């Protein structure tokens, strides 16, 4: 594998080109001053919007500001991610953050003002000013929240409580990221070494069972020691959600969480009930895992180790890119041409170097192009990561190209569809073309485990959130015992009785940061199911699906997520996409059991 000691050693072609944002810091500073002036101008609209013309002027200038500000903020953020140790980039990012506060403060009057208007007054403004046609849909969308917005004085009090209400989430973040120490595990040379999260994800997949077991118990130890503190933070976060839902007149915390995407609670409930009706193949896979590993007892620390040993294909970045272009060719020439442009015009930062931010992401910037961060490791996971992030990248590119700024930013609900469609097309392509039976088995195993993590585990988490919020709404006290009991019951229902339950299993809830962002995780599962549904048809060459899917990628947030997906043939208000995804999982388990 290619390793680089410094960023300078990396070939130019494998580094993103930030000159596309600013060719020098002087131009960045110029935009900084421009935004400061624009923010001051926006402040002067406070109390001065009395007709359609002044409303239009405010909105037009506000949109211009956000266009420039997005570029300005992205530049130092991307610079910092190239090398987090670099102080010049950090100070630019700090300046951008301070400017963000100024901008927010200069526009904070607007939403309370807008929602204080009568609907008829707003409609009369829109009718009298032609320019407001562009903003009309967004203005009326804001009115959906009118029922849930309180008086000006009450809103002021709530905004002052904002920091206090975020304490549970912030406290958990500090415990989880700063305070928790996992202790020591045995290194390769027999020396004790400090366990880290990154190391844990590798060790829990190690073929040496003793290493997996040692890492598992070390990883959970601090969570068990801090169980009461973490239970208090989670309980606080849930109670805050429930209280805010009541204060803002939502029927339940769940419905408040789904309101923004206009998703009926039946979609959430249907996801859970349909999955549980079709859970048998997952139980069967757990049994296959136990048999294949030849274990008397299957424990949770045996659930991540690959079942096919000795298969670790080396895939260079060049090879990975060419494989991606072939695998995604069913999406058409224009799609593939865009991916070539990503590489040739240097939208991607490829290599891991000292100080570089870990992980991978896509950042779409309206009016410029996407920037993709990778830490390519020349392995199968890195190939999947490349394909995944490029899915987001093309989605950003097409939404920017075909939508005006106001409707170009797609919602999280649909974001994972674009990336997962690519992953499914890739796995289908690899399975179709792979001759080596061992590698084929490895690919199937990879796909099934990915399915389990992205779909089944997220549905289980979604049900845990629903149950614990309902308990809080019913006045049932939330504590360690309640969380343990709820989590353990669900874990058994989803994973079956093949697994032997160590004490640690029921504490799974204590380490999930997503629980502090309520009713979010279900989107991974609906996105995955939608992607399976679409990718299967695209792979088969269904022209109608291909065209409607490409239109979907161009749509940004021009409609609500469920409506955008319906246009591709995926209707999440029915159980069909979920049933199809579960049927596909069953087929994979069947195939895997036959070739083992």
Q: How many domains does the chain divide into?
A: 1
Give the CA radius of gyration of the chain: 25
The answer to whether the CB of 509 falls within 8 A of the CB of 464 is: yes
Cβ neighbours, 10 Å, residue 48: 9
Does 323 map to a domain? Answer: no
Instruction: Compute the average pLDDT of residues 405-434.
Output: 94
Angle at 284 between CA 384 and CA 301, to 5 degrees: 65
> For the purposes of burial, counting CB atoms within 10 Å of the CB of 344, is it exposed (0-12), middle (13-18) or buried (19 or more)?
exposed
pLDDT of 311: 84
Please report the pLDDT score of residue 1 as a whole number. Answer: 57
Domain that holds residue 54: 8-149
Tens digits of per-residue pLDDT, 53-93? 999 999 999 999 999 999 999 999 999 999 988 899 999 99
Answer whether 0.85 is exceeded by the pTM.
yes
- pLDDT tens by residue, 493-527: 999 999 999 999 999 999 999 999 999 999 999 99
SS3 state at 52: helix
pLDDT band at 2 (very low <50, low <70, confident <90, very high): low
As given in the structure block, the two tokens for residue 13 are 């072609």
Alpha helices (runs of H) in 50-132, residue ranges in sequence order:
52-82, 87-107, 110-116, 119-128
Residues 6+ apart with CB under 8 A from 278: 579, 582, 583, 586
Q: Is the pLDDT of residue 197 over 60?
A: yes
- The pLDDT of residue 61 is 98
Percent of the chain residues topping a pLDDT of 90: 83
Q: How far is CA 319 from the centre of its chain?
A: 27
Domain for residue 38, yes or no?
A: yes
Nearest 10 degrees: Cα torsion 120, 556, 36, 77: 150
If you average pLDDT over every residue of the chain, what do you get? Answer: 94
Is residue 123 included in any domain, yes or no?
A: yes
Model pLDDT, residue 290: 96
Q: What is the pLDDT of residues 232-279, one digit of tens each?
A: 999 999 999 999 999 999 999 999 999 999 999 999 999 999 999 999
pLDDT tens string 21-33: 999 999 999 999 9
Q: Which of 86, 93, 245, 229 is nearest to 167 (CA)?
A: 229
CATH code for position 58: 1.20.140.70
Closest to 557 (Cα-Cα) out of 409, 441, 422, 445: 409
Average the pLDDT over each of 306-315, 381-390, 398-407, 483-492 and give the range with the smallest value: 306-315
> Concatenated DSSP letters for 300-325?
GGGSSS-SSTT------HHHHHHHHH
Catalytically active residues, by annotation: 389
Residue 563's closest CA among 255, 267, 136? 267
117 CB-side CA count, 13 A: 23
Helix, strand counts (H, E) of the chain: 25, 5
Please report whether residue 61 resides in a domain: yes
The pLDDT of residue 341 is 98
The pLDDT of 291-319, averaged and rounded, is: 93
What 117-121 contacts at long range (C-beta under 8 Å, 24+ apart), as own/partner pairs, is 119/143, 119/146
Question: Would residue 162 count as lying in a domain?
Answer: no
Is 200 among the domain residues? no
Decide if 285 is inside a domain.
no
* Amino acid 515: pLDDT: 96
Taking alpha carbons only, the member of 236, 319, 302, 234 closest to residue 1 is 319
Residue 166 lies in a domain: no
């Amino acid at each position: 594998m290619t390793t680089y000691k410094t960023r300078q050693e990396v070939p130019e072609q494998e580094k993103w080109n930030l000159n596309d944002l600013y060719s020098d810091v002087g131009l960045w500073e110029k935009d900084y001053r421009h935004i400061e002036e624009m923010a001051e101008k926006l402040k002067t609209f406070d109390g001065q919007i009395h007709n359609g013309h002044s409303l239009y002027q405010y909105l037009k200038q506000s949109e211009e500001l956000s266009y420039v500000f997005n570029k300005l903020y992205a530049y130092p953020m991307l610079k910092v991610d190239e090398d987090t140790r670099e102080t010049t980039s950090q100070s630019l990012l700090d300046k951008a953050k301070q400017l963000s506060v100024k901008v927010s403060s200069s526009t904070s009057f607007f939403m309370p003002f807008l929602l204080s208007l009568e609907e008829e007054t707003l409609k009369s403004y829109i009718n009298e000013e032609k320019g407001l046609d562009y903003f009309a849909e967004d203005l009326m969308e804001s009115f959906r929240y009118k029922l849930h917005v309180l008086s000006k004085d009450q809103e002021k009090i709530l905004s002052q409580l904002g920091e206090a209400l975020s304490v549970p989430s912030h406290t958990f973040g500090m415990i989880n990221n700063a305070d928790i120490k996992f202790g020591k595990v045995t290194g390769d040379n027999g020396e004790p070494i400090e366990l880290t999260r990154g190391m844990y994800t590798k060790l829990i997949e190690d073929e040496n069972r003793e290493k997996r077991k040692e890492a598992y118990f070390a990883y959970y130890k601090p969570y068990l020691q801090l169980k009461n503190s973490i239970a208090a933070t989670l309980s606080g976060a849930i109670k805050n959600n429930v209280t805010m839902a009541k204060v803002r007149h939502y029927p339940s915390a769940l419905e408040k969480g789904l309101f923004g995407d206009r998703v009926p609670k039946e979609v959430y409930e249907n996801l859970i009930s349909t999955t549980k009706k079709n859970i048998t193949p997952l139980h069967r896979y757990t049994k296959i895992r136990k048999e294949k590993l030849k274990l008397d007892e299957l424990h949770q620390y045996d659930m991540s180790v690959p079942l096919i040993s000795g298969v670790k294909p080396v895939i260079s970045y060049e090879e990975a890119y060419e494989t991606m272009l072939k695998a995604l060719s069913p999406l058409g020439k224009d799609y593939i041409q865009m991916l070539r442009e990503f590489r040739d015009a240097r939208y991607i930062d490829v290599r891991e170097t000292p100080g570089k931010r870990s992980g991978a992401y896509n950042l779409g910037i309206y009016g410029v192009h996407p920037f993709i961060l990778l830490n390519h490791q020349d392995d199968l996971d890195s190939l999947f990561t490349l394909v995944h992030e490029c899915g987001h990248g093309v989605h950003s590119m097409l939404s920017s190209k075909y939508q005006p700024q106001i409707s170009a930013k797609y919602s999280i609900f649909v974001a994972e569809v674009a990336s997962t469609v690519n992953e499914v097309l890739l796995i289908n392509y690899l399975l179709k073309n792979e001759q080596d039976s061992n590698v084929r088995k490895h690919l199937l195993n990879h796909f099934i485990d990915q399915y389990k993590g992205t779909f089944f585990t997220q549905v289980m988490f979604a049900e845990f959130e629903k149950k614990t919020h309902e308990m809080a709404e019913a006045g049932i006290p939330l504590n360690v015992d309640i969380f343990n009991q709820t989590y353990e019951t669900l874990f058994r229902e989803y994973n079956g009785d093949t697994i032997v339950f160590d004490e640690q299993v029921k504490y799974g809830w204590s380490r999930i940061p997503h629980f502090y962002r309520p009713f979010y995780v279900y989107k991974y599962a609906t996105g995955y199911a939608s992607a399976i549904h679409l990718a299967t048809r695209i792979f088969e060459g269904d022209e109608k699906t291909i065209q409607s899917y490409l239109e979907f990628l161009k749509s940004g947030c021009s409609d609500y997520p469920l409506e955008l997906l319906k246009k591709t043939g995926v209707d999440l208000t029915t159980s069909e996409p979920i049933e199809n995804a579960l049927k596909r999982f069953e087929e994979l388990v069947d195939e895997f059991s036959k070739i083992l």
